[in-house]
Structure 1
Amino acid sequence: MTEHFALDETTIADVHAAYRAGTLTARALVRAYLDRIATVDAPDADGPGLNSVLAVNTAALDDADALDERLRTTGELSGPLHGIPVVLKDQIETAGLTTTYGSRTAEHNVPDRDATIVGKLREAGAIILAKTTMPDFATSWHSTSTVSGLTRNPYALDRDAGGSSSGTAAAVAANLATVGIGEDTGGSIRLPASFCNLVGLRVTPGLISRDGMSPLVEPQDTPGPMTRTVTDAAILLDVLAGYDPADPYTATAAIARNRTGSTDARNRTGYTDALDPDALSGARIGVLRQAFGSADDPEAEAVNSVIGAALDRIVAGGAELVDVEVPDLDHYVAYTSVYFSRSRADMDAFLATRPGIKATSVAQVYADGLAHPNLDLFAGIATGPARPADDPDYHQRLEARERFQRDIIGVMAAHRLDALCFPDVRIAAPTHADVLASRWTCLEFPTNTVIASQLWMPSITVPAGFTEDGLPVGLELMALPYHEADMLALAYGVERATGSRRTPDMG
């Protein structure tokens, strides 16, 4: 029943229209994706061997059958994600399905309960299709993992898909699922999304529950959508956002939700309803030139050129661009990083509650040589302070973060800006050779995604175009805290103006 349905670039709306028309079933769609995974993803297959999928849900076809039967008997879709196959970063615990967190210390770990967001996806009618690759405990900008090795970029097989949501990015970009979920601490949704020509959404921390997910920096961690369109990202956010008693940080959701409409819960609109094709008309967007790479660096200039062309199209769409400067930006980005101060304590607290992981501390994993050798961030965490208070600068770093956020918001207020924008990363996806040769340390890699992360502000990447070598480039929009609805509206306008999403040609 899929012979008349275009699998490539299909959206949630496309799938639902086909279900309602009776030209597609959930079983047929799941079967088509499973066949494509077997052909395109498996490292030992004749295809490109993307190596993005770790574990396929053996119950996916049964779940699809149940949804097909429900639609047949009731004539109604079960929810906003009825029959939508979703891939999940393997940081997200899934009942009955191997969840490794990217580490071989957990290669046989099978949780007995779903993370909160997995329960929300299922309740909305989604089909959990597969778990996807990631570096050990999300500690890299790249795909290096003791479980899965390297994940290939669908647009250039000798290049990395980015991290840490490596597999979700590659799988969604290559049309191995309709949508995906990643996790973002310092950029782990937006960086791989930008490398793989996707929309990647980071929300204000706490808007989406982190219950049932391994942490890296607890106040910065957030799951989020990775999709081929802004609309699909908004639909997922409508499903995922909300207060969860299992995660106290989600008190944030009570504030953010009011941004989408009336304070009366019965009259509130959703994030999807906020999308506006005319959002760029009259919008004021600040261009943070400090975050662009040097014109003397050919790799950076290739990205700058793509971003410049995208900005021209955004202006043509009705937006006004304002060049802005943030005082001491580089200092703030460096000083407000707390991986080496806080991550060890957050990760150890998690490990202590997970008997399926064959380690009780980060230091033990490192001492036993069970982390990937290219993960210098993991090494720094494992050998750093055991508690945040052991870093004499920790509280000063937190105070600096407050000043950093005030300064950024002050710049936006002074210029009456709706958002700031800049390239997600100053270079395009690196080669696997560069990754394995440790061309950059974690703190040296030229990503700008840490800006929003360390500010605890929402941001989104939208495909901006391609370099002359055919490598994707993402444009990041950063908005005020809790302004996801406004930011998604702008992103929708940018998407329409640039039109830069395209299917990869994997030969």
Structure 2
Amino acid sequence: MSFTLNETTIRDIQAAYLDGTLTCVQLVQAYLDRISAYDQSGPALNAFVKLNPAAIEEAAALDRMFAQTKTLVGPLHGIPVAVKDQAETKGIETRFGSVALSGYVPEKDATIVSKMKAAGAIILGKTAMPDFATSWFGYSSVNGETKNPYDLDRDPGGSSAGTGAAIAANLATVGIGEDTGGSIRLPSSFNSLVGVRVTPGLISRAGLSPLVVFQDTAGPMGRTVTDTAILLDALVGYDSQDPYTTAFVIADHKGSYTQNLDPDGLKGARIGVLKEAFGSDEDPDCAQVNAVVRAAIAQIKSAGAEIIEVSLPNLLDFVVETSLYITHSRHDINKFLSSRPSLPYASIDAIYKDGRYHKNLDLIDDIMTGPAHPDEDPSYYRKLAAREAFQRAVVKIMADNRLLSMCFPPSQVLPPTREELRNGRWPVLGFPTNTLIAAQTWLPSICLPAGFTKGGLPVGIEMVVLPYHEPDLFKVGYAFEQATRYRLPPQSTPPL
């Protein structure tokens, strides 16, 4: 077989390894060449903040093992992965998006990094993120701004901005994002990618900086549903270092998520369309998003699903009432930083006092108005109780209508332009993202490419399912992908 790098998949790569037309060293070098051409020069996407200096050496070791055994070491054998700088990586500088933490080189890997390496993955490098994941947008004190490869004047979405831009531009095979309120799904929507947010706790967060600890989850980002399923298999599992992973024990997932990749998964399925999640057609940005998503919903119906419009009239009230960034994030970040004595700063308070953060990150300003401990906020327990009510309200809609899944646009608007962001059009807590619905109800969610506007901007569609029902995400997501094939690579980064 002949091998083509652009838009390649895990299975394509491993088939090429097995038939001898590709080596790990050749693949890693090909990605490094693309990073040099498109990330560090040319369109200068600014997606990577640090490359793995041992990537070629690790690839060569895998090639030697394969030459001796003629077998792959695991399901991610020789797969180059872009890892959000939120995860600690042994021997590779890790800054959690903060220039104040420059020089920190962890002595051990985050659990998910260890698990990927055990499955045979090669960590290609660390990707850009806003300081401590505090934005929907691609700003960072470490590297400035990350660009959207589909329109270099627009934002790639955050906070997994670098992973989104890198995977969209074929700078790595798959990537790791982290999602507190939508930081996997928003960049997936803005970059024509598949992004998966699981029920929090299925994936260990040990070694990842937090934002709202019980809402945080790492997850896979890729160009295909199959690739995200294969990567997710390597990420999930109980970890005694993270007590929230008792969720994995409760979920009791068996086998591989790839077992749920059913091209007929939408036939006979009842799919809800959440009315209040759509923006106004009178807003040009919203109208373009709505047109693409409604056309995608028509494709869901054509694939055999029954479409049911559903309503949650007080949706916005629920989203606002259950937001805990200002109440929780300062405490959670400080607890993490203070647990690592080798870091140059022990608190976000000290970093803030020294002004060592990107000044466009208005959420950091908001967070610093919050309490040192969550229970000092008199509304804290009311907000926690509201989360239970929010989840019940959404699940009740699904139960009353016998829905397998509910769908809506991940963002009500298009990727913002740099000019809009510089002019302050979108403060973080005012950005019209629907990704908060799943995040603040702890529902699993998948973002899928839904097509493009007439101007060529990617738009995603988000599908949510019941807690612990991740297999259903892959059932509906794969069927949608196979029926539509909307994913297209950006023209700014053609094959070399």
Provide the TM-score with structure 2 as the length reference.
0.98
Distance 1:346 1:89 in 2: 19
Q: Is 1:335 paired with 2:321?
A: yes
Query: What residue number does 2:423 align with?
Result: 437
Whether the aligned pair in 2 keeps the contact of 1:363 and 1:383 (CA below 8 Å) is no
**1:289 aligned to which of 246, 261, 275:** 275
Distance 2:393 2:124 in 1: 43
Q: Is 1:87 paired with 2:85?
A: no
Distance 1:357 1:293 in 2: 43
Query: What residue number does 1:134 align with?
Result: 129
Query: What residue number does 1:159 align with?
Result: 154
Query: What residue number does 1:255 align with?
Result: 250
Query: What residue number does 1:27 align with?
Result: 25
5+ unaligned residues in a row in structure 2: which ranges? none
Query: What residue number does 1:471 align with?
Result: 457
Distance 1:309 1:276 in 2: 22
Whether the aligned pair in 2 keeps the contact of 1:108 and 1:356 (CA below 8 Å) is no
Deviation at 1:361, TM superposition (A): 1.8
The aligned runs of 1:73-472 (5 Å cut-off) are 73-258=68-253, 268-472=254-458
- Deviation readout 1:469-498 (Å, 9 max, x if unpaired): 110000000110000001111000111122
SS in structure 1 of the partner of residue 196 of structure 2: strand
Query: What residue number does 2:62 align with?
Result: 67
- Deviation readout 1:122-147 (Å, 9 max, x if unpaired): 00000010100000000000011110
Distance 1:365 1:331 in 2: 33
SS in structure 2 of the partner of residue 370 of structure 1: coil
**1:58 aligned to which of 41, 53, 57:** 53
Deviation at 1:257, TM superposition (A): 3.2
Deviation at 1:118, TM superposition (A): 0.3
Distance 1:249 1:169 in 2: 26
Distance 1:344 1:306 in 2: 38
Query: What residue number does 1:5 align with?
Result: 3
SS in structure 1 of the partner of residue 289 of structure 2: helix
SS in structure 1 of the partner of residue 145 of structure 2: coil
5+ unaligned residues in a row in structure 1: which ranges? 259-267
Name which of structure 1's ranges 12-21 and 366-375 shifts more when overlaid on structure 2.
366-375
The letter of the residue matching 2:183 is S
Distance 1:233 1:366 in 2: 36
SS in structure 2 of the partner of residue 159 of structure 1: coil
Deviation at 1:443, TM superposition (A): 1.2
Deviation at 1:372, TM superposition (A): 1.0
Query: What residue number does 2:477 align with?
Result: 491
Whether the aligned pair in 2 keeps the contact of 1:105 and 1:357 (CA below 8 Å) is no
Whether the aligned pair in 2 keeps the contact of 1:79 and 1:125 (CA below 8 Å) is yes
Whether the aligned pair in 2 keeps the contact of 1:234 and 1:272 (CA below 8 Å) is yes
The letter of the residue matching 1:380 is D
Deviation at 1:108, TM superposition (A): 1.2
The letter of the residue matching 1:312 is A
Distance 2:420 2:351 in 1: 25
Deviation at 1:437, TM superposition (A): 2.0
Distance 1:127 1:40 in 2: 20
Provide the TM-score with structure 1 as the length reference.
0.96
SS in structure 2 of the partner of residue 323 of structure 1: strand
Whether the aligned pair in 2 keeps the contact of 1:106 and 1:356 (CA below 8 Å) is no
Write out the 4+ residue segments of structure 1 that deviate beyond 3 Å after TM superposition.
Answer: none
The letter of the residue matching 1:313 is Q
- Deviation readout 1:338-379 (Å, 9 max, x if unpaired): 001111111110110123432222222112111111111111
SS in structure 2 of the partner of residue 506 of structure 1: coil
Query: Identity across aligned pairs (percent)?
Result: 56
Distance 1:449 1:9 in 2: 26
Whether the aligned pair in 1 keeps the contact of 2:194 and 2:224 (CA below 8 Å) is yes
The letter of the residue matching 2:446 is I
Distance 2:167 2:31 in 1: 11
SS in structure 1 of the partner of residue 138 of structure 2: coil
Distance 2:313 2:236 in 1: 33
- Deviation readout 1:422-466 (Å, 9 max, x if unpaired): 000011111111122221111110110011000011101000000
- Deviation readout 1:387-418 (Å, 9 max, x if unpaired): 11111110000111101101110110000000
Deviation at 1:20, TM superposition (A): 0.5
What is the count of residue pairs matched by the alignment? 493
Query: What residue number does 1:48 align with?
Result: 43
Distance 1:40 1:100 in 2: 23
The letter of the residue matching 1:233 is T
SS in structure 2 of the partner of residue 460 of structure 1: strand
